[in-house]
Amino acid sequence: MTANEVIDVVEAISKHHPNPQIALNFSTPLELLIATILAAQCTDERVNVVTQSLFKKYRSAEDYANANIDEFEQDIRSTTFYKNKAKMIVGCTKKLLSDFSGNVPSTLQELTTLPGVGRKTASVVMVAAFGVPAIAVDTHVLRVSNRIGLVNAPKDADKVETALRELLPQEMWVSFTLSAVLFGRHVCKAKKPMCGTCLVYEMCKWPDKLKT
User: In the bound complex, what is the minimum distance in angstroms from residue 9's beta carbon to ligand SF4?
Assistant: 8
3-class secondary structure, 153? coil
Smallest distance, ligand SF4 to C-beta of residue 175, A = 17
- Of the two residues 9 and 50, which places its CB atom closer to ligand SF4 in the complex? 9
Minimum CB separation of residue 40 from ligand SF4 in Å reads 24
Provide, rounded to whole angstroms, the least separation between the CB of residue 142 and ligand SF4: 13
Nearest CA-CA partner of 55 in 96, 89, 101, 99: 89
- Dihedral sign for Cα 126, 128, 134, 135, please: positive
By beta-carbon proximity to ligand SF4, the closer residue of 18 and 196 is: 196
What are residue 191's phi and psi, to 5 degrees? -105, 140
Task: Tell me which residues touch ligand SF4 (CB under 6 A).
Answer: 147-148, 187-188, 193-195, 198, 200-201, 204, 206, 209
Is the Cβ of residue 16 or residue 119 nearer to ligand SF4 in the bound state?
Answer: 16
Q: Which of 131, 151, 134 is nearest to 143 (CA)?
A: 151
Helix 82-100 to helix 29-38 angle (10° resolution) is 150
**Which residues are part of the catalytic machinery?**
120, 138
When the beta carbons of 96 and 172 are compared against ligand SF4, the nearer one is 172
Phi and psi, residue 90, nearest 5°: -65, -45
